[in-house]
Structure 1
């Protein structure tokens, strides 16, 4: 059944939208929807126009209640004179035309905004997967992502800042531009720089920033610190505490330089980095071994060769139990 065959359907749909339809009228609408697929499409279109008109009505000064009463009065009068229109009611025809014009203009404007925004603010996301990855950002800054890390940034830094979002760990070598600060968002921590090189690492326990060159500002809520070369800022997630101190080692560089530089490094710290770097499960089987110092440099060595050197240097035994490695 086509819409034109039921001249009262617009009125019934309006009453349904206003929750004023009687049970009999609701049944009539349901039957009309079942009669023809075109009726279902008409209803969906009508509902879309109704929703849009409600949004526009919020900015209108028209008294919609009074308008509805006038509409019902006209409808009752038409019933009394038993006038059967050959075409849809003029008021609805006009409303449909106006609504279609508004919707067409709205869609066109929305499409323009989206097209404009996508051309200058389209976000790009780079993920490293199981390998480290180096990428050049739109401003010429260089970022090196550690494994299982990702970074998102706009296709162009068109605003007054250079914003990026980091997940995981990355080393940044930022191109200087005093007029446009470089901002890194990592969870609820913000790292702000102008031109410098530094490492940012985020995991389940803490967020850590270590500076190699320049000055970096790290902030979280009302807390704020400035750090310089060889200094680090650490935000512990358990208590949201921010600490500033001297970087204890250079292990933040291992994924970028492929080198582990140990200078009096305690065994527990080397094990911690080896587990991270090689996705291993190494444990120290004897607590008295934890703080034994190591003084050597491992340059692109395999895990087995590193553990061999550690075993020889500290007179340890390396035992394999399934995937777990125990140092005794």
Structure 2
């Protein structure tokens, strides 16, 4: 059969017509997917947040004028200094004790392993307030402490009631409790080092001490430091318990002033809350930068800082506005 020229003409004419009806490729816009549920959830959260802020600002029960009066009072600042001192001393002593206990748990000696495991088990099981009160009444069990030959004569004797001041009891109690948790942090960091590092250090002929100090421990710090900085946040909040051993820290100062001025209990609690938020936020900022510093050897690109994220978000928003205006 022979093709008729007239039959091909309508098909050829139909293709340009269909092509001309579609918009050019440069004019087409790709619309993002709409997330209705996400927008509804965001609106609900914003409404609840606005109601909460409005309640804080307008409820006279909070007495914000009294909050401003107490926030920088000397009695509150003195308690804040005590909190910082107890936290700093307990953090350092707790970390040192945790290293010793972690090494005992990793030791080849079954006695050291058993003692280290028992210490961690007991101190993590007993509430901190019980440890503090027990140490506060320690003089009832041992009136004097001595240094000398075991089961033999004593060379030096100390009066425990004079030695164990309120600050000493608070620091010792928090350090003992902190060491139990720090020991697990340190032990986990040491175990995270690859076994090949141990074998390479042994192949170089290094002693066990130099293997640990030069090879293993520096690599374990990448895991230990961020986790222990996070542990400091819990330690800051735990210092509020030293009030029960007669040490006037930040919380203790607020409790004392609340007993003297019963009408200012709520403003004083708000003062304590804000100061603890400031302290924990500062530690959280340090933790972020410490983790970012130690991530240099594990990631090709460092995670952006909050300021860099804000700049990127503003840049993206500006570019989106320009595209919308151009369209």
What's the TM-score, normalizing by structure 2? 0.22
Identify which of structures 1 and 2 has the higher relative contact order when contacts are C-alpha pairs closer than 8 Å and 6+ apart: 2
Structure that is richer in strand per residue: 1
